[in-house]
Structure 1
Amino acid sequence: MMRIAVAGGRGFGFLLATELAQAANAYNVVVLSRSARPEFDQFDVQVHVVDYHDHNSLGYALQGVDLVISTISGTEQLNLIDASGRGRVRMFVPSEFEGPLSRRPSRNDPLDRGSSQALALLKQWSESSRMKYTIFSCGLFMERFHPYGIINTFGIGHGSGVGGPGEFLVNSTTATAEYPEQDSKGHSVRVCLTSVYDVVRYIVAAVDLGPSHWPREFTMYGDRMKVRDLITTYSTACNAVFTRHVQQPAELEALLTYYAQLCDYDKVAYYQRLLATANGRYDFSQATLNEAVNRSNSVNVQPVTFGAWLTSIWQAF
């Protein structure tokens, strides 16, 4: 039986660990957590309290682990990668779920937040040991557009600056939207979106299919749409007319420079995200994991569309 370690016991990590434990194959799941998590007892999930800054603590917790799936970041994830490489871990999935690798700047990425360092370390270990790695890219979490924000619903987003309501593209409180409609070449800006729950289901399906055949990156989405259609869908779901502020890439660049001169770093980060969206950071045309699941007779995932997800959220209010 495959032994899987999920690093992080809250939010996304909780959903992932419990879904893996209840999968048809009933994987042996252990959660690596900074503190005790009695809520896992009912799911027959073992919890290892670890110190991510103590290699002995990590090494002990990773004994017998075949696959590590990380939902943590920063120095703690780097230490976890090193400990996994030194141990007998065969596959590592880093906390890199939003946005495909091909759409990220090769250098000086303002939205990096330690990502390039983690990927470089994984590449190093994959070349010097038997440990391989795979990135699961889902575009944007649909939950980023939850009226209460993704931090309040899943505890995700503290480090990204888009965890609260109204911090990205739309603000339901003020019924306003600020977004790029076209890229620098005049093409419509699109984004891919996946619900957190469907990301979990797709990862479990990929585990069922077998990590030995995973590519370097899997892409998945529940929906792919033009940003202007996203705003229309949002407006329809909450039954409100939104004031739209459409920005061209050049205008976003100018706003970014302006707020940088004012040292307003929250605004700088805000416009960096909008500019990245205009540059296609969250878009891809081929969903390779969707395709792999659809080809298989042993697994099945039917992802929710953005419109259906949003309608269900607003009906619950």
Structure 2
Amino acid sequence: MVKIAIAGSGGLAWIFAKALCSTEHTTIILSRNDQPEFAKLECQVVVLDYDSQLDLRFHLRGIDVVISTVSGAPQINLIDAAHDAGVTRFVPAEFEGPPARRALNDPLNRGKRETIARLKDWSHDTRNPMRFTIFSCGVFYQRFARGGLALYNIGIGTGIERQGAYLMNLGNDTAEVVEYTGDGKPIYICLTDVYDLANFIVAALDHGLSSWLPEFRVQSDRKTVTEILHYGAVVKNVNGLDTITHEAQNLKKNIDYASYQQDWDTVARFEELAATESGRYNFTQPNLNPLVNVVPTPFWDWLYHEWKS
């Protein structure tokens, strides 16, 4: 049995907690405020101050694994406290494409580089090393849901939480994409149902912490942008989505112009398209899928269920 602390109380924390609380593992929720809805899951909610190292260290004593869904300074503080409290393994809020595929001047950084640097520092502590594991999973299916990620209380404030903020909006049968890389190759995207991700994390725990790698790559499916658009059109029973297609070489110009206009929603949308074109969300060899007994949901099945109901 493993003792787990989930940091945060948003939608991602809820989905992880729902999966973990049905296992033999002990799970607590670390939150700034009381969260009565978690009582349904029979999870203990610990109210604490993320700015207080003393508070964090006290509540992390005896915890084996921290799974973070918080970012920025609160996550850095959590990492430091987890190390000092003797936590064995830390899972940061890095649930997207592999870190190695991010640009050095990544506009979508949002503290990610600093988080990984701090984790590497503590993993190299010869007296008290704290290991970490990143679960790289590509793009969540829920970006394409009715209501988008916001409906699940995920990604709030990132600019991509709204329905239609990424690639296609099936609510009005529209899309805005880049389909090919600068050298003319189809753009691939790894996609994961957030509920599959939760099941992968549970399965990895059951597989044994001693076998955990610094990065687990998981995916529910992998499709080209063109295939995603086709699926959207078929599920909505239209000849094709009303699509704006951008060329890869024009993305930076569009970002610069939107920045000049201070149109930050458009900036966020184009930065995601640029990241997608650069391969940020694409990988071909998921290393956790073959190790565990999780049967992920194909993207078509999820999309059909989401929009045909």
- From 126, 138, 162, the equivalent of 2:123 is 126
- What is the alpha-carbon distance in structure 1 between the residues aligned to residue 290 and residue 183 of structure 2? 29
- From 49, 52, 56, the equivalent of 2:54 is 56
Instruction: Give 1:315 shift.
Output: 2.5
Kept in 1: contact 2:165–2:269 (CA 8 A): yes
Instruction: Give 1:42 shift.
Output: 4.0
Instruction: Give 1:72 shift.
Output: 0.8
Kept in 1: contact 2:173–2:236 (CA 8 A): no
1:84 to 2:82 alignment: yes
Seq. identity, %: 41
1:113 to 2:114 alignment: no
SS of match in other structure, 1:218: strand
Instruction: Give 1:8 shift.
Output: 1.4
Instruction: Give 1:176 shift.
Output: 1.7
- What is the alpha-carbon distance in structure 2 between the residues aligned to residue 151 and residue 103 of structure 1? 26
- What is the alpha-carbon distance in structure 1 between the residues aligned to residue 270 and residue 21 of structure 2? 40
- From 153, 172, 178, the equivalent of 1:180 is 178
Structure 2 spans left out of the alignment, 5+ residues: none
Change beyond 3 A, Cα 1:260–1:36: closer
Instruction: Give 1:219 shift.
Output: 0.7
One-letter amino acid of the structure 1 residue matched with residue 278 of structure 2: N
Change beyond 3 A, Cα 1:83–1:196: same
Q: Give the number of equivalent residue pairs.
A: 306
Kept in 1: contact 2:7–2:13 (CA 8 A): yes
Aligned counterpart, 1:297: none
- What is the alpha-carbon distance in structure 2 between the residues aligned to residue 159 and residue 61 of structure 1? 28
Instruction: Give 1:167 shift.
Output: 0.7
- What is the alpha-carbon distance in structure 2 between the residues aligned to residue 256 and residue 88 of structure 1? 44
- What is the alpha-carbon distance in structure 2 between the residues aligned to residue 86 and residue 260 of structure 1? 42
One-letter amino acid of the structure 2 residue matched with residue 242 of structure 1: L
Provide Cα deviations, 1:204-228, integer angstroms capped at 9, x if missing partner: 1011111221111011111101101
1:302 to 2:299 alignment: no
- What is the alpha-carbon distance in structure 2 between the residues aligned to residue 56 and residue 98 of structure 1? 31
- What is the alpha-carbon distance in structure 2 between the residues aligned to residue 289 and residue 218 of structure 1? 6
Kept in 1: contact 2:160–2:166 (CA 8 A): yes
Q: How does 1:157-176 map to 2 (within 5 A)?
A: 157-176=155-174
- What is the alpha-carbon distance in structure 1 between the residues aligned to residue 169 and residue 64 of structure 2? 43
Aligned counterpart, 1:296: none
1:271 to 2:266 alignment: no
1:236 to 2:229 alignment: no
Instruction: Give 1:103 shift.
Output: 1.0
Provide Cα deviations, 1:52-106, integer angstroms capped at 9, x if missing partner: 011111111101101000011111111100100111100000000011112111x
- What is the alpha-carbon distance in structure 1 between the residues aligned to residue 11 and residue 264 of structure 2? 27
Structure-2-length-normalised TM-score: 0.95
Aligned counterpart, 1:43: 41
Aligned counterpart, 1:257: 256
One-letter amino acid of the structure 2 residue matched with residue 212 of structure 1: S
Aligned counterpart, 2:150: 151
Instruction: Give 1:171 shift.
Output: 1.8
Instruction: Give 1:127 shift.
Output: 0.9
- What is the alpha-carbon distance in structure 2 between the residues aligned to residue 273 and residue 231 of structure 1? 16
